[in-house]
Amino acid sequence: MSIKKVIVVNYEKCTGCKLCSLICSLYHEAVISPFLSRIDHIEFSDKEKGFIFVPVTCEQCEEPICMYSCPRDAYYIDENTGAVLINEEKCVHCRICVFTCPFGGVLVSPSGRVFKCDLCGGDPECVKICPSNAITYEEPESSISDKKKETAKKLLTK
């Protein structure tokens, strides 16, 4: 199964409003809580630009390490969206996937439940609410790993 569309974050457009996190938790958990959002935020301080905000969510990897590392085979790929999902009935919350994800895309709720972005079934709420269009949902232009490397280089050279 190939990835159909991915969430793409342009950190240079992000204002740090965190509306994406709030709508995410509201949509999935029916409560506004950054601790229940599938989007985390990293903030960097830059002497020239001030703060740089980077929304972090599951990258929906072409070769998902979270899925391969799961001892309970709780992960699967959604046939409609190509998203890597968790079968909560199989998950024992061992957190191996959390530790193996190189991008911080697998999260743990305050109750200990493991969760991650499911692309909202193919219609991501975070994309719809982002006022600066820093988060988009699009077909990958190049391989996802190339985009990740490009973003990492930009962050490291600033």
Say if residues 52 and 156 touch (Cβ distance below 8 Å): no
Q: Number of folded domains in the chain?
A: 1
Q: pLDDT digit string (tens) for 82-99?
A: 999 999 999 999 999 999
Residue among 55, 44, 47 nearest 155 (CA): 44
Higher per-residue pLDDT: 115 or 49: 115
pLDDT at 46: 81
Phi-psi region of 87 (alpha: psi -120 to 50; beta: other; left: phi over 0): beta
Q: Has residue 155 been placed in a domain?
A: no
Phi-psi region of 16 (alpha: psi -120 to 50; beta: other; left: phi over 0): left
Residue among 125, 1, 111, 112 nearest 57 (CA): 125
Mean of pLDDT values over 34-54: 90
- Does residue 67 surpass a pLDDT of 90? yes
pLDDT at 48: 83
Q: Has residue 15 been placed in a domain?
A: yes
CATH code at position 53:
3.30.70.20
Alpha-carbon distance of 152 to 93, in angstroms, equals 29
Q: Has residue 151 been placed in a domain?
A: no
Alpha-carbon distance of 72 to 54, in angstroms, equals 32
pLDDT at 147: 58
Q: Has residue 36 been placed in a domain?
A: yes
> Furthest-apart CA pair in the chain: how many Å?
48
Total-model pTM = 0.85
pLDDT at 4: 85
Q: Has residue 147 been placed in a domain?
A: no
Alpha-carbon distance of 128 to 74, in angstroms, equals 29
Q: Has residue 54 been placed in a domain?
A: yes
Cα 126 from chain centroid (whole Å): 10
Q: Has residue 144 been placed in a domain?
A: no
Residue numbers of the domain that contains 132: 6-139
Q: Which residues contact 15 (CB under 8 A, 6 or more apart)?
A: 53, 131, 132, 134
Q: Has residue 158 been placed in a domain?
A: no
